[in-house]
């Protein structure tokens, strides 16, 4: 894990922006500035709150480039809360023994209470076990897939919610707890144990891991906002302005303007701010917008 230094803004500057006067257009630009200031701080927390493999290269300097940011398409086979046709699909690559993933899991569960029945935001969970940090995580990921096999999507989410609840993180869970969790969520324990023994989902979990790596994941949780509509110029500029403040690889933007990826555990307010900006609910500062 590394810490990110925040540049060019502090609380007093945010307050100064908030107290300035101007026309309606000026107010919208200032509101956008405040939103971006908040996102800057949130992303600073976000990229610090992640687990990094031991061989991760830690580089200095900002990066305002775009990348291919390719990832396997979201399908009905994914573990998803919300509509697959949502305007924004947040694809989370996660590790069940990562403490930041544990916290972020609670954040997303809380957020999806408000979004799961609409068509604005969906949450997809994919496996990204970091073996060098958490050797038990792949076995735990397999257990969640056995839960899915035995009880469907509801069992998967019940199982993984309980798993995150009971694990102390950092590879600290006693694996003997896995069948106990299966029993807790109402699964056939004998069938669960046999599924674990068979190991039939190991390949799928490894493929999920490779999907995260190919998309640019270098820590957990690794999250990609997949947008149905391309970002407009002002939103794209706002994302690049954020990107320039942090280490390379912390915030990735796709070449086609339809995906933004960040590694780390964002607070609830940060997730909602990103969602609102992508949906056009919050303005962002645009140099082409008149201020007087």
Which helix (H) or strand (E) segment holds residue 251: the answer is strand 251-253
Report in angstroms the alpha-carbon separations of 64 from 26, 175, 255.
26, 43, 12
pLDDT at 6: 29
Residue 136 has a pLDDT of 99
Task: Give me the pLDDT at residue 247, please.
Answer: 79
Token reading at 245: 């403040």
231 located within any domain: yes
- Express each pLDDT in 185-199 by its tens digit: 999 999 999 999 999
Residue 34 CA: distances (Å) to CA of 5, 13, 56 = 19, 10, 33
**pLDDT reported for residue 43:** 55
Q: Is the pLDDT of residue 269 over 70?
A: yes
In a domain, 254, yes or no: yes
Read off the tokens for 162: 């309980």
Q: Domain of 127: which CATH number?
A: 3.40.30.10
Name the pTM for this structure. 0.81
pLDDT at 40: 56
Chain mean pLDDT for the chain: 82
Contact 215, 71 (CB under 8 A): yes
Q: Answer whether residue 105 shows pLDDT above 60.
A: yes
Q: So what's the pLDDT on residue 39?
A: 57
Q: What is the pLDDT of residue 282?
A: 74
| Position 64 pLDDT exceeds 70 | no
With respect to residue 194, please indicate whether it lies within any of the assigned structural domains: no
pLDDT at 263 over 90: no
* Contact between 149 and 195 (Cβ < 8 Å): yes
Residue 182 lies in a domain: no
**pLDDT the model gives residue 12:** 35
* Structural domain span for residue 31: 1-137+204-292
Pairwise CA distance, residues 125 & 157, whole Å: 9
Total domains present in the chain: 1
* Of the candidates 96, 74, 99, the residue with the CA atom closest to the CA atom of residue 85: 74
CA distance 219 to 36: 24
Residue 172, domain member (yes or no): no
Q: What is the pLDDT of residue 120?
A: 97
Segment 79-105 shows an average pLDDT of: 97
- Assess if residue 224 is contained within a domain: yes
Rounded to an integer, the average pLDDT of 66-92 is 96
Position 193 in a domain: no
Taking only the tens place, the pLDDT of each residue in 210-262 is 999 999 998 999 999 999 999 999 999 999 988 888 778 889 999 999 999 99
CA 17 distance to own-chain centroid: 29
- What is the reported pLDDT for 116? 86
Share of the chain above pLDDT 90, in %: 67
Structural domain contains residue 216? yes
The pLDDT value given to residue 220: 96
State the pLDDT at residue 244. Answer: 86
How would residue 51 be classed by pLDDT, with cut points 50, 70 and 90? low
The reported pLDDT for the residue numbered 192 is 99
What average pLDDT does the segment 58-82 reach? 82
Give mean pLDDT, residues 120-140: 98
33-47, 119-133, 260-274: range with highest mean pLDDT? 119-133
Give the angle 230-7-18 at the CA atoms, nearest 5°: 75
Pick the closest to residue 140 from 106, 90, 110, 176 (CA basis).
176
Measured distance CA(259)–CA(120) in Å, rounded: 15
What confidence score (pLDDT) does residue 283 get?
Answer: 66
Give 179 or 247, the one with higher predicted confidence: 179
């Amino acid at each position: 894990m590394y810490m990110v230094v925040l540049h060019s803004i502090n609380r007093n500057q945010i307050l100064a922006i908030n107290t300035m006067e101007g026309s309606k257009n000026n107010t919208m630009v200032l509101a956008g500035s405040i939103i971006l200031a908040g996102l800057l701080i949130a992303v600073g927390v976000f990229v610090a709150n992640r687990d990094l493999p031991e061989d991760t290269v830690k580089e200095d300097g900002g990066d305002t480039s775009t990348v291919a940011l390719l990832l396997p398409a979201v399908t009905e086979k994914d573990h998803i809360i919300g509509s697959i046709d949502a305007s924004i699909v947040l694809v989370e690559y996660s590790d069940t023994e990562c403490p930041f993933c544990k916290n972020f899991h609670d954040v997303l569960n809380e957020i999806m209470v408000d979004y799961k029945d609409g068509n604005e935001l969906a949450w997809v969970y994919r496996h990204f076990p970091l073996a060098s940090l958490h050797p038990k995580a792949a076995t735990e990921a397999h257990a969640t897939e056995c839960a899915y096999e035995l009880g469907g999507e509801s069992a998967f989410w019940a199982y993984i919610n309980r798993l995150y609840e009971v694990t102390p993180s950092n590879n600290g869970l006693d694996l003997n707890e896995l069948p106990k969790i299966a029993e807790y969520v109402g699964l056939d324990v004998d069938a669960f144990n046999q599924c674990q023994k068979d190991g039939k989902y190991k390949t799928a979990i490894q493929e999920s891991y490779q999907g995260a790596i190919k998309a640019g994941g270098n820590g957990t949780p690794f999250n990609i906002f997949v947008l149905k509509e391309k970002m407009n110029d002002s939103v794209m500029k706002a994302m690049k302005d954020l990107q320039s403040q942090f280490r390379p690889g912390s915030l990735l933007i796709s070449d086609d303007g339809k995906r933004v990826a960040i590694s780390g555990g964002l607070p609830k307010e940060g997730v909602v701010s990103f969602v609102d900006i992508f949906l056009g609910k919050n303005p962002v500062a645009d140099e082409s917008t008149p201020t007087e």
